Structure 1
Amino acid sequence: MKILLIEDDLEFAELIEGFLSSRSIQTQICDDPFKALVLDLNSYDLVLLDLGLPGIDGIELCKKFREKSKIPIIISSARSSVSDKVLGLQLGADDYLPKPYDPDELYARIISLIRRTKDFNQENEKPKKAFKIDENSRDIKYLDNFLYLTEAEYEVMSELVKSYSSIVSKEQLIYSSPSVSSDGKSLEMVISKIRNKIKPYSNTNHIVSLRGRGYRIVE
């Protein structure tokens, strides 16, 4: 983990750097706010930003950071003004830690914020599946559109959706679908009808037939 500490009090900054280093957090100190503006924020996991900086207010720096990056930002300041805290949070800071503070609290806030950010990003990066099973209606949705499947169609399609992108053999589909006869042609007819119900919403053949192997769902 690597953070960017923007702080013009170098003695204080070095104390923080030493403490965080003991907690396996690498810290890069930057005492020049204008230099901080040209740094690649993608190289860091979090920014710890002081407000009382020479030449440019930390609030303005926070605003500029947020315009170009979603990196987590903790404002740390001896300024006790409520308006500074509110404005900093409104401009995109994720947390506000007044000075003086306990280094252990700083560490806890850093870990908590990075964990929340990571969890949020991972959740949003998860691929959203086009097909969803609706257990209540015993139907399948394609891009939130109900397909209005018959019982046999639902049984077959739900088995395919549960095995997303994996091949499901004809024997497995017939075994898991009581409403489908053991005749292979009956299964093919059910698959054909499902495809026709998907067509109004997509030109793609989402149920792929693999000769001698079975079927699978594709996006």
Structure 2
Amino acid sequence: MQTKIMIIDDDLKLIKMLKKYLSEYSFIIDAFDDPEEALEKFDERSPALVILDIMMPKINGFEVCKRIRKFSDIPVIMLSARGEVEDRIVGLEIGADDYLPKPFEPRELVARIQAVIKRREPMPAGERKPPQYSFGRLIVEPSKYTATLDGVRLDLTTSEFGILHLLVRNPFVTLDRDKILNELKGIDCDAFNRTVDVTVSRLRNKLKDDPKEPLFIKTVWGTGYMFIGERGND
């Protein structure tokens, strides 16, 4: 089954190049140079992933990403000609899954797309499914790529679910930021640990977990994080 990708970028030359290049990898491309039009047609086109430029004249990519996150948790890869660390931080804060500075090698973009999509794919038939993790109010089901709190499904980005899955697999074990960064394969971290802190902060908000009195994720100062949820019956 071919993967449909939506590109939102006002650079028509880049759009033309990406459409040609990505189609060679059997991706179906919907490209828009007008972010408003892309948002209007989002449900109709039903993309599996969005490639989103930050610097656009009508609405910048940050605002577009915020609007997408109000109704969808599909992966978003952000592009920026500035390549500044602060742009990456803001992108992660609002729910982007990855970030790639311009100019970039098209093959690197393909690798990042494939990495994000692979983590969303269900387990192949016949393979042993990962266990379900139950912590009372919180249930994490890796085989379905879902987590529910009080019976309500959480809208988690790829990076948020990746960290949550890593934490619940290692309860009451302190995981340092390097270990967690390694879990965020494909995200261009440049060794700045704030990437982890930003993603964990977003995850905590969705879990309604107070960092001062945590039920799920405890901060281990100077090191990283520990999952402290009490395990129920799987």
- TM-score normalised according to structure 2 size: 0.51
Residue number among 105, 108, 112 corresponding to 1:105 in the alignment:
108
Note if contact 2:120-2:145 (Cα within 8 Å) is conserved in structure 1: no
Q: If you compute each CA radius of gyration, which structure gives the higher value, 1 or 2?
A: 1
Residue number among 78, 81, 89 corresponding to 1:78 in the alignment:
81
Note if contact 1:2-1:44 (Cα within 8 Å) is conserved in structure 2: yes
Counterparts in 2 of 1:124 and 1:46: CA distance versus 1, 3 Å? closer
Higher relative contact order (CA 8 A, sep 6+): 2
Distance in 2 (CA, whole Å) between partners of 1:78 and 1:87 is 15
Note if contact 1:72-1:117 (Cα within 8 Å) is conserved in structure 2: no
Equivalent residue of 1:48, what SS? strand
Q: Which residue of 2 aligns with 1:204?
A: none
- Report the residue type matching 2:51 in the other structure: L
- Report the residue type matching 2:28 in the other structure: Q
Q: Which residue of 2 aligns with 1:129?
A: none
Deviation (angstroms), 1:37:
1.7
Note if contact 2:50-2:77 (Cα within 8 Å) is conserved in structure 1: yes
Counterparts in 2 of 1:82 and 1:124: CA distance versus 1, 3 Å? closer
Q: Which residue of 2 aligns with 1:11?
A: 13
- Report the residue type matching 2:81 in the other structure: A
Residue number among 45, 57, 62 corresponding to 1:59 in the alignment:
62
Residue number among 112, 117, 139 corresponding to 1:114 in the alignment:
117
Which deviations, in whole Å up to 9, do the C-alpha atoms of 1:172-213 show, x marking residues without a partner? xxxxxxxxxxxxxxxxxxxxxxxxxxxxxxxxxxxxxxxxxx
Deviation (angstroms), 1:124:
4.2
Counterparts in 2 of 1:118 and 1:13: CA distance versus 1, 3 Å? same
Equivalent pairs counted in the alignment come to 126
Q: Which residue of 2 aligns with 1:36?
A: 38
- Report the residue type matching 1:115 in the other structure: K
Residue number among 89, 98, 116 corresponding to 1:95 in the alignment:
98
Equivalent residue of 1:68, what SS? coil
Deviation (angstroms), 1:57:
1.2
Residue number among 115, 120, 123 corresponding to 2:144 in the alignment:
123
Deviation (angstroms), 1:13:
0.7
- TM-score normalised according to structure 1 size: 0.54
Note if contact 1:33-1:54 (Cα within 8 Å) is conserved in structure 2: no
Deviation (angstroms), 1:117:
2.1
Considering fraction of residues, name the structure with more helix.
1
Which deviations, in whole Å up to 9, do the C-alpha atoms of 1:152-187 show, x marking residues without a partner? xxxxxxxxxxxxxxxxxxxxxxxxxxxxxxxxxxxx
- Report the residue type matching 1:18 in the other structure: K
Q: Among all aligned residue pairs of Structure 1 and Structure 2, give the percentage whose two residues are the same amino acid.
A: 43
Alignment of 1:68-217 (within 5 A): 68-119=71-122, 122-124=143-145
Equivalent residue of 1:5, what SS? strand
- Report the residue type matching 1:123 in the other structure: K
Note if contact 1:77-1:99 (Cα within 8 Å) is conserved in structure 2: yes
Equivalent residue of 2:121, what SS? helix
Q: Which residue of 2 aligns with 1:135?
A: none
Q: Which residue of 2 aligns with 1:46?
A: 49
- Report the residue type matching 2:27 in the other structure: I
Equivalent residue of 1:52, what SS? coil
Specify every segment of 5 or more residues in structure 1 that has no aligned partner in the other structure, as ranges.
127-219
